[in-house]
Each structure stands twice: as structure tokens, then as C-alpha cells.
Amino acid sequence: MDISEQEREEIINSIRQGRPIPARYRASLFEDALETELIWPGKSSDVERTVLPFQSIEHVDEPRSETVLRPTLFSMDEGSGRQIGGWTNKLIWGDNKLILSSLANGPMRKQIEDAGGLKLVYIDPPFDVGADFSIEVEVGDESITKQASIIEEVAYRDTWGRGRDSFVAMIYERLLLIEGLMAPNSSIIVHVDWRMNSAIRLLMDEVFGAESFRNEIAWCYSGPSNTSVHLPRKHDNLIFYAKGKPVFTQPRIAHKSGVHNTGQVFGGSASDASELKQKEMEERGKSLEDWWSDVYTADRYRTELVGYPTQKPEPLLARIIEMTTVDGDLVADFFCGSGTTLSVAEKLGRKWIGADLGRFSIHTARKRLISVQREKAEKNDPYRAFEILNLGSYERQYFTGVDMSLPAEQRAAASVQRREQFLELILNAYGGQRTVQLPGFDGVKDSACVFVGPLDAPITQDDIRKVIAAALKHRITRVDVLGFEFEMGIKPAMSDEAREVGITMTLRYIPSDVFDKRAISKGQVKFFDVGYLDVKPKQSKSGEVTIELSDFGVFYAQEDADATAAGLKNSSAKVVVDGGQVVRISKDKKGIVKKEILTKSWADWIDYWAVDFDFESQKEVIELQNGDRSETVWTGRYIFENQWQDFRTKSDRKIRLVSEPHTYDLPGEYKIAVKVVDVFGNDTTKVVKMKVK
């Protein structure tokens, strides 16, 4: 072995300390020749193995007409026109590392395999770590900037923005998980640009094997560029690898003999045979090369735009999907953004799975996919239902260090043991202090006592009544109640009940951001007040039931109005969100500040709403991994069956406040759930009882 004494000592120390042997010594130590690989500090081939149950929070299925084609896809309920049985498409909100691990190692893997397995994975990770992830949204007649959530901000900038190593480590683990989930004959395409294309090639050689490489496709586009030190960078890269021998359909594009794709004419004489071949090519089109200049960026397809900054054009995804799959194949996108991949897959008759970290992404994709269902329903074309999933309270238990492989009873005990650590975390993020001097409360902040709800369950009305009783006992007049979830319709009823006995009570959501210490240390975690919703169910003389939205309240603040005013220059203005209102703050030439509330109505905040006319008709059942076996359990909750909905789009800003009529088959008492999603993608749900005659 050709190594020095100093190098030998370094190798021995690495082994003693349980660290990997530095890669530069492997060729000297081992006889087998090593393939080229990308090395970075802390590189590990260990991947996440946690299995968390998926919770179904919404089921969306636009009713079909009686004449729609159905037997080849799934069975259908004749009365409702809704899908029963067969594969249901999946839209999953959460950390895609945990999602991929749970898909690859949990009970849902069998569903995926029964559906034919993943035949195509397309991902477009946010490779531009300096990008602005804020989004322009409209409230009434005004446009405001929705800032990225703190969890997105931390993930995109602090984790991946620390340089090339952090991005490579992130994507490497996800590629390993994806590879283990793909079908034996399948394709993967990773969308990157000049920043990371070389690193991605090396990573994919390592994960899939260099022999699996198919193409590095240049997707070319045009546009202004002010560079003076290099050529304008005007293409992205589609890195295309394959497992086994997947479907591949050669794309063909229009061709005219004597003219390049650029439009440049070329000359030269041709024989009769070549003329015949040229004529045939003009009729069939020519085979597409690995540079694509005939698909424009999304802003050129105006009717597709949904206001999402990283949106890709549908023709690009249509070409990729048609090139690598056939009708009925399963397509996945684990950085799905605004849902372009999923929307195109649905239009082309493919099954799909999509996932994203951002709540607003999931909301945008949901609206887009419902629009596809509606378009297909109008044409009597077949389409599948989809469900919106998350990892819910199980993800929170994982973040606090509970071993999710333990049986349910042991997990519950572990959650109780970690309660103290959990309380310290929440109260620190909230700006409060822990106290054990006031039974019934967990901490204090300023002049208020703080109650923190459970990690794995919603705060109920009974919980609130116990808090009220404790406040009366200790003569406390201000109470803050913090929870990850609240029982539906808990506000304003419980706030009013507290007010009647002289207690000012504030209900606030604990954001997922509290599990990132960096967000806490920077003071970036924001606790938003629970919104309230009021609805009026009505039954006509003919028996039809409609739901009317009568009030909706939010309490958002993205920027403090007074602080913004103080920082404004003379003769300038800015629109902010403060105290649940959109406010234009302006400063004239003399420095006089003017604040103008721009929101005209509570309805301005509503972006989407939906109704489940028989809320407790479908229990939420999940599969839990219990040692080596899985068990099916009822969570105690119900799935929101999206039976009717209305929403705003970029082209149509109107929204109805009264639902279409619904007819019940039988009289009786029903629970009706109404879900409202505001312009920032946050939802509020209320359940009302109605006696149907």
C-alpha cells in the first residue's frame, strides 16, 4: 500500500472513531476498482427508514354523469356518480423525505405496486437557492405578496442555501429513497439548470448506475439577459435515467426539408431516394433530438398561469409523460409545486402521486386538479378521484424524538415522557416561560397564562372548559390557548363562553416551524389566531339543502403597520397585511403617514370553499406499523368528502357565497361540514347539524 505513516494514522483514527474512511484512501486500500463518485463532508448512504401513517384529510371527486366511460378504470356509485374502489390519486403535504420513507417502507407501498408501480418520476427541486419564493395573491381588488412560510424559508435557504454540499446531501438521500420505490422498468427525469447539473449527473450515476443514463436534454428558451462576462444562460437540463427497459416513445416534431429547426435554409442537390425519404419525414415529422427549442416557458402559455413562481409549462410535462409512459401508468412528482405534473398526468389518463412541503402549493394544486376534473366531466371523459394526505400528528411525534417503530401504547407513553421537552420548545418559540406554579397551565407570557394542547390530538371544547375553570380558580383574566389542531367550530363559541365570566381568551395555532431550532433562534416563528366561520344551512320546500357563508374572520399579520410606516421614505407607499386587514401605508412629501384599509369585505379573504353534506359518513382509517405487522385502526376522525366547491382563479376572481342545492335520499339529522381556505392557503372548518325533512 502506497500510503505514508501520517495517512495510515488518519485511517486508523477514522476507524476507531466510527467514521467512514476518507474516500481518497479507498483506491489504495481495496483491490476492487472504484467508480467515480461525488464526495462531500458527512456523506452517508444511510437513508431515512421511518414509517409514519398517512392521514386522509380530504377526498375530492367531481360527480360524473351516467354516460361517462367507467368500467375499465374502477367501479362507480350510480347514485352519486363518484368513484368507489380502484386507485385513488394522492396529493401529500409534508416533508418529502418522510413521505418517501413512509411510501417505500410502509403499507402504502403495496397500493403502489398493485397500481403497477412508479413508472415515471419527474422532480424539479428548487435548485436556485437564492430565488424569491414569495407569491403574489389577490385580496379583493388588491395584490399583496404572500411570503414563504418559515418552514419553507428555512428549508430553501438555511438548509440548501449553505452551498453546494447541503443541496447535494438533500437530493442524494431523496434519490436513494426514490430509486427504491420505482418499478423495475421505469424512468426518472430530474429538472435542474447550470447551477447543479454536473453534480446531479454524478449523483444519478452513483444511485442508478452510469449505464442507466439516457439523455441530458437541453430545454432551450429565450428572453432578455444583461450579462457582459459570459454567454446568456438560456437552457435548463432534464437529466434522464432509466431502470430496466421502460416504455420509450420517440417524440417526433414537424419537419420541412431544406430548413433547420432554427428556420435557416440549407441547400444541396438530392437523389430521388433521398427526396422520397425527405417527403416521408415531412409527413411523419422528424425524431426529436436532445435539445428542445419548441416548448416555451410558462409565461408564454397565459391560460395556464396560476401565479406560482416556479411553474413549468404543461407542453413540457406532456412531452415527458407521453415519451416515458402509457395510458394508466403511475407518475410521481415529489416537489410538485403548483401541480403541473399532476394536472398533465390526469389529462393524459395517467395515475399520479404528488407531494410538496408548502401548504400553498397543495392548495394551488388542489384547485388546478378540480378544474381538470370539471373539464373532463363536461366532456364525459373518465377521471379518478384524488385524496389530500398528510402525516399529521405522527410527524409531530417524530420531530420530538418519539420512536415511531414502537407499538401504539409505548409510543403514547413516550409522548407523555417527552411532554416537558415539547412544552419548553413551544413556549420558547412563543416567547413565554415555563411554569409549574399554576395547575392547569403550562406557562406565562406577559400578563397572560398559557395552556399548550397535546402533540397528537386536537384541543376540544372540554379542554377549553377545563382551562376556563382553572383560570377562575387562580383569578386569571387573560389566557392564551396554543394548539396544533382545534375541534371544528370551537371559535367563537368558546371565546364567548370565556368572555361571559370575565376571561379574555385567545386561541392560536402552533405552526410546524417550531420544530426547527433555527427558526426559533431567529425569532421567525409566528402563531396565528384561529379563524372563525359562520354558515347558514337552508332547506327549500322541495327538500333541497343549500349552504350560505355568512361570516369569516382571519387575523393575519405579515408585517407590522407601524414599523412599516416608520421605515417608509417620504413620497412612498407599501401594502401590508396587519391585524387581518390589507392596509396601504403611504407617506407624503412632508412625511405625514396615511393608513388606508383596502379589504372591503370578509369575503375578500376567501379563495376556496367546499361542503361535505354528510360529514360523518366515512371514517378515517389508517394502517399502523406494529412491529413486523400492520394493523388498521380508526383515528376517531372523519374524512372530508368534497361534494361541492367553488374557488377563485387567476382569470375569474368571483366566488359564490351560496352552494348549489343538495338532495338527500332519506330524511333525518345530518352533520354538514364546511371548509374555507383563505388566500394564503390556510383552512378553517365548521360542522353544523341539520334536520332534513
3-state SS of 279-316 is HHHHHHCEECCCEECCCCCHHHCHHHCCCCCCCCCHHH
Q: Please give the residue that has the higher pLDDT: either 653 or 155.
A: 653
What does the alpha-carbon distance between residue 304 and residue 293 come to, in Å, rounded to a whole number? 19
Among 16-30, 280-294, 422-436, 586-600, which is the least confidently predicted range? 16-30
Does residue 276 lie in a domain region? Answer: no
Last residue of a domain, one of 390, 421, 448: 390
CATH of the domain at 417: 3.40.1340
Question: Minimal CA–CA distance to 602: which of 520, 531, 660, 672?
Answer: 531
Determine contact, residues 369/352, Cβ cutoff 8 Å: no
Residue ending a domain, among 488, 521, 554, is: 521
pLDDT over 60 at 231, yes or no: yes
Instruction: Determine the pLDDT at residue 154.
Output: 45
Confidence of residue 269 (pLDDT cuts 50, 70, 90): low
| 442-456 exposure pattern, b = at least 16 Cβ within 10 A, e = fewer | bbbeeebbbbbbbbb
572 shares its domain with 633: yes
- The answer, yes or no, to whether residue 468 has pLDDT greater than 90, is yes
Task: State whether 363 and 217 are in the same domain.
Answer: yes
Q: Measure the CA–CA gap between 493 and 460, rounded to whole angstroms.
A: 12
**Is residue 649 domain-resident?**
yes
Please tell me whether residues 335 and 431 are part of one structural domain.
no
Res 578 pLDDT > 80 = no
| Cα(684)–Cα(610) distance, integer angstroms | 11
Domain final position from 485, 501, 521? 521
193 part of a folded domain: yes
The answer to whether residue 295 is domain-embedded is: no
User: Do 189 and 88 share a domain, yes or no?
Assistant: yes
The DSSP output letter for 495 is H
Same domain, 69 and 150: yes
Question: How many Å apart are CA 531 and CA 678, to the nearest integer?
Answer: 10
**Is there a single domain that holds both residue 84 and residue 167?**
yes
The mean of the pLDDT values for the chain is 84
- 26 occurs within a structural domain: no
Assess whether pLDDT exceeds 90 at residue 4: no
Residue 173 predicted with pLDDT over 60: yes
What's the CA gap between 611 and 667, in Å, rounded? 19
What pLDDT is recorded for position 155? 45
Residue 146 has pLDDT above 70, yes or no: no
Based on the structure, what is the number of domains in the chain?
A: 3
* Strand partners for 76: 83
Task: With a cut of 70, say whether residue 550 has pLDDT above it.
Answer: yes
Beta bridge partners of 122: 189
| CB contact burial 644-682 (16+ within 10 A = b; e otherwise) | bbbbbeeeeeebeeebeebebeeeeebbbbbbbbbbbbb
Give the rounded distance of the alpha carbon of 276 from its chain centre.
52
C-alpha pair distances (Å), 84 with each of 66, 285, 304, 567: 15, 42, 31, 57
Q: Which residues make Cβ contacts (< 8 Å) with residue 666, sequence separation at least 6?
A: none
C-alpha span between 104 and 332 (Å, rounded): 13
Question: Is residue 55 over pLDDT 70?
Answer: yes
CA distance readout (Å), 340 to 240, 308, 316, 332, 364 = 19, 10, 10, 11, 10
pLDDT of res. 25: 64
Question: 374: pLDDT confidence band, cut at 50, 70 and 90?
Answer: very high
128 exposed, middle or buried (CB, 10 Å; 0-12, 13-18, 19+)? middle
- Per DSSP, 94 falls in state S
Instruction: Supply the CATH number for residue 215's domain.
Output: 3.40.50
Q: For a pLDDT cut of 90, what percent of the chain falls above it?
A: 45
Q: Is residue 235 part of a domain?
A: no
Q: 352 and 217 in one domain?
A: yes
Residue 399 resides in a domain: no
Judge if 451 and 575 occupy the same domain: no
Q: Are residues 63 and 144 in the same domain?
A: yes
- Same domain as 220, residue 357: yes
Same domain for 313 and 454, yes or no, is no
Strands 55-60 and 386-390, bridge-based pairing: antiparallel
Instruction: Choose the weakest-confidence range: 134-148, 411-425, 495-509.
Output: 134-148
Q: Is residue 242 a part of any domain in this protein?
A: no
503 and 537 inside one domain: no
Of the candidates 470, 474, 531, 489, the residue with the CA atom closest to the CA atom of residue 506: 531
Residues 6+ apart with CB under 8 A from 284: 252
pLDDT range class, residue 82, cuts 50, 70, 90: confident
Q: Could you report the per-residue pLDDT of 438-467, keeping only the tens digit for each?
A: 999 999 999 999 999 988 788 999 999 999
- Provide the domain limits for residue 510: 404-521
